[in-house]
Structure 1
Amino acid sequence: MSEKSYDLLVIGGGPAGAATAYWAAKAGLQTAIIEKKVFPRHKTCGDGLTPRAVHQLSEMNLSQELNEYHKYEGLRAIAHNKSIEMKWPDHPTFPSYGYVVRRCDLDTMVVENAVKEGADFFEGMEAVSPLDKSDLGIKGAMALDHSSGENIIFKAKFIAVADGANSRFGRSLGSNRNKKYPMGMAIRGYFESPLDKEPWIESALDVKDRHGNSMPGYGWIFPVGNGTINVGIGLLSTFRDYRDVNTTHLFNEFALTLPDYWEINPLEPIEPPTGGRLPMAGSVGPKAGQNWLLVGDAAGSVNPFNGEGIDYAYETGRLAASLFTEANAQKDNSILTRYPDLLDEEYGLYFKVARLFAKIIGNPVLIRELTRVGMRSQTLMEWALKVMANLMKENDKGLDEIAYSTIASIVRMVPEQRVSD
């Protein structure tokens, strides 16, 4: 049985893992990523990168690579036979545009970028169990090389758990999802369309089947720029009967009712649609151990407002890498205990507001009326876009930020039980 040693072992090569590895390797930590799949691999995702995600990718020196993909200007919202087009807002930190990049391309791009910074990448290598788990942490992971069937020991001072929404490795360390928090379900597929280079991603807020009956959830259509569009539908567990929802049926009905201008054949997706579940709002914990941290989807970092997880994966990965680097330099693992508080400082109140929003929209009648009111006002919808994409300005606060801050101040005082139950 072979053995390898590193400063940092990253379990999972997706957005959170690759970002953690990039920043850690850049800071000088000997870093390894082990990923059970072989890249490129497909993931259930809308493929849309918002300004927050684009900013993080630019910080990782990937702006030039992104320019090869479809760039879009903003969001087109559709509901109640109306449509509103909204450009991404101007912001001092984030760009006023996004990209659509298929995950098979995006994740390969980011992990290769980490390798360029010095990280070692082992694909087709599954972390099957923690190594020597004790009160002092773990010494690494036992991994299975799927190509050879060999077990390999990876020893490390620190471990970043980034194996996604189902995080088996995280669960083996005692992490679990707070079931009172919302969870998302989504399914997506690709269709050929002549509008593959539309400047807008599209969100259907009032989804109906072909007979005009309202369906739960919201739909999306994201132009990929390669002759195809990404079509999907998602819903939250706050919807009363979500356990009885057949997401494949939802997807098929949504495809059949897409606006004619997309010119798709709804019966002929390019490949079978795929779906998945997403823990949200920081719902997974504990997020820190003696020498390990959960990052990205493994920590339940998806935004309940819009189902967005990639930017939060990059951000939590970057934060974790900075703490690993500091702990290594100071030879003080207790530095990692700051991680949950730093996450709460950055996202805690915002995610609490988002959870209350998720609870409200679980009522189909209420969300229908809210969207009906919203679609009458460009200004109101632009404010909602800014809030839901977490693009408020921190310092130069305008009316949009003041309005959100007022709501957040009220939500801060709402007992946690009232938000979660």
Structure 2
Amino acid sequence: MSADHRHDVLVIGGGPAGAASAYWLAQRGHDVVVVEKKTFPRDKTCGDGLTPRAVRQLTDMGLAEQLAGYHRYDGLRAVAHGVTLELTWPEHPSYPSYGYVVRRRELDQLVADHAVKAGATFRAGTEALEPLLRDGLVVGAVVRDAERDVTEQVRARYVVIADGANSRFGRALGTSRRRSWPQGMAIRGYYESPRHDDPWIESSLDLRDRNGNSLPGYGWIFPVGDGEINVGIGLLSTFRDFKSVNTTHILDEFAATAPVYWGISPETATCPPTGGRLPMGGSIEPKVGPTWIVVGDAAGSINPFNGEGIDYAYETGRLAASLLDEALTTGDGMALQRYPGMLDAEYGLYFKVARLFAKVIGQPALMRELTRAGMQSRTLMEWVLRIMANLLRDDEVGPAEMAYRAAAAIARVIPERS
């Protein structure tokens, strides 16, 4: 490319949201370039689980055949208070009734390669250092190619910000997290296990240490299907002592007290654990400017109910691409300004209910009693699964929908602190 070439769209970050944006834009014939700081394949702190919503997005991208080569699972095994419930994904008119577990180093490579096949340019090992401005508008980015040790300008009509939960590029444009809203914290590691191909992902809702003392948060075990399992814990900032929690200690205790059938021990660990913090519930604002738009984790598009972000990354990336396609096709950049309203219509009320729920589960004693009661009823836990995974149906008013609508009615009238 010549130094003065101007792309249609520059995407900052090649993870799920960025790669999805690039794919959908390239498929529509636009000149799109992705700059990704890391060189693929690379690992990410993640549970590696793809819910039915994520599977739907990947299928729509034409990746169903490639996904079929990974470990497929049927639903969630919930474990708490000595009770175990195996809950299948519900039947839904829009989403499949199964999920997959795919390591992020493989998943992100898969989608990035797919975007390239659609016509996108992918520049790995290239870091976006700062926005490129002209007359107060973002017109690209100053980037550094690590392999060539070259700093240059990449120009574009529009910029998609998809550089993850700690979005430096977004902050350079004034984005920030609403600190009164929940933030998540997670840590995970991998272990060899004889149950690596188990048909259920597992969640422990009653964490305890080796002495039987209660611990904050929840634990997960996701079978990867390649000889290993992904083991992690998640915690919300609504927990009173969130800032002082030692997540490594909690993970060690969870690994030591997990069901014996997983075969977890210090000797079966295959790598050191990694962790990070996650903005949730759409807590990052603003999400759009005159020539830029924020997607995925960089926009705080993570479900406070369960910490799931991959599906929302694909969905917001696709939504942003549709608006950018309209702006590029019609020449009317005001199309981007509909983005916040569309996000609010799709996720606003759901995320608000989830944020209120996050305040409840931030109280360990209350959480223990809720899980104790819930685990006594398979039907109740099936409702919970549908609500937490955002798989409610529009074509019926079942118990889950009624419970959610009751919570939503309350959420509509409760003001939130900014």
Q: Which ranges in structure 2 are unaligned for 5 or more consecutive residues?
A: none
Q: How far has the Cα of 1:268 moved from its partner? A: 4.1
TM-score by length of 1: 0.97
What residue number does 2:97 align with? Answer: 96
Whether the aligned pair in 2 keeps the contact of 1:2 and 1:151 (CA below 8 Å) is no
Paired residue secondary structure (1:75): strand
Q: Distance in 2 between matches of 1:401 and 1:372?
A: 22
Q: Distance in 2 between matches of 1:46 and 1:351?
A: 21
Give runs of aligned pairs for residues 7-156 of structure 1, distance below 5 A.
7-132=8-133, 134-135=135-136, 137-156=137-156
Runs of 4+ in 1 over 3 A off after TM superposition: 1-4
Q: Distance in 2 between matches of 1:84 and 1:133?
A: 58
What residue number does 2:230 align with? Answer: 230
CA-to-partner distance for each residue in 1:18-59, whole Å, 9 max, x for gaps? 000000111111100000000000000000000000000000
Amino acid at match of 1:324: L
C-alpha spacing 1:42/1:261, structure 2 compared with 1 (3 Å): same
Paired residue secondary structure (1:132): strand
Amino acid at match of 2:276: G
Give runs of aligned pairs for residues 129-208 of structure 1, distance below 5 A.
129-132=130-133, 134-135=135-136, 137-208=137-208
Q: How far has the Cα of 1:398 moved from its partner? A: 2.5
Amino acid at match of 2:191: F
What residue number does 1:274 align with? Answer: 274
Q: Distance in 2 between matches of 1:399 and 1:257?
A: 34
The reply to whether residue 219 of structure 1 matches residue 219 of structure 2 is yes
Whether the aligned pair in 2 keeps the contact of 1:129 and 1:142 (CA below 8 Å) is yes
TM-score by length of 2: 0.98
C-alpha spacing 1:215/1:139, structure 2 compared with 1 (3 Å): same
Q: How far has the Cα of 1:249 moved from its partner? A: 0.8
Q: How far has the Cα of 1:3 moved from its partner? A: 5.1
CA-to-partner distance for each residue in 1:98-153, whole Å, 9 max, x for gaps? 00000000000001110010000000000001001544x21100100011110121
Q: How far has the Cα of 1:4 moved from its partner? A: 4.3
What residue number does 1:367 align with? Answer: 367
Q: How far has the Cα of 1:407 moved from its partner? A: 1.7
Amino acid at match of 1:273: P
What residue number does 1:323 align with? Answer: 323
Paired residue secondary structure (1:163): coil
C-alpha spacing 1:264/1:3, structure 2 compared with 1 (3 Å): farther
Q: Distance in 2 between matches of 1:416 and 1:134?
A: 36
Q: Distance in 1 between matches of 2:142 and 2:94?
A: 41
Amino acid at match of 2:62: N
Q: How far has the Cα of 1:253 moved from its partner? A: 1.0
Whether the aligned pair in 1 keeps the contact of 2:383 and 2:399 (CA below 8 Å) is no
Amino acid at match of 1:378: R
Whether the aligned pair in 2 keeps the contact of 1:126 and 1:145 (CA below 8 Å) is yes
C-alpha spacing 1:366/1:153, structure 2 compared with 1 (3 Å): same
Paired residue secondary structure (2:35): strand
Whether the aligned pair in 1 keeps the contact of 2:142 and 2:152 (CA below 8 Å) is yes
Paired residue secondary structure (1:151): strand
Whether the aligned pair in 2 keeps the contact of 1:17 and 1:317 (CA below 8 Å) is yes
Q: Which ranges in structure 1 are unaligned for 5 or more consecutive residues?
A: none
Paired residue secondary structure (1:202): strand
Q: Distance in 2 between matches of 1:285 and 1:376?
A: 40
Paired residue secondary structure (1:416): coil
Paired residue secondary structure (2:154): strand
Amino acid at match of 1:327: A
Q: How far has the Cα of 1:401 moved from its partner? A: 1.3
Q: Distance in 2 between matches of 1:72 and 1:261?
A: 17
Whether the aligned pair in 2 keeps the contact of 1:302 and 1:308 (CA below 8 Å) is yes
CA-to-partner distance for each residue in 1:300-346, whole Å, 9 max, x for gaps? 00000000000000000000000000011111111111000100010
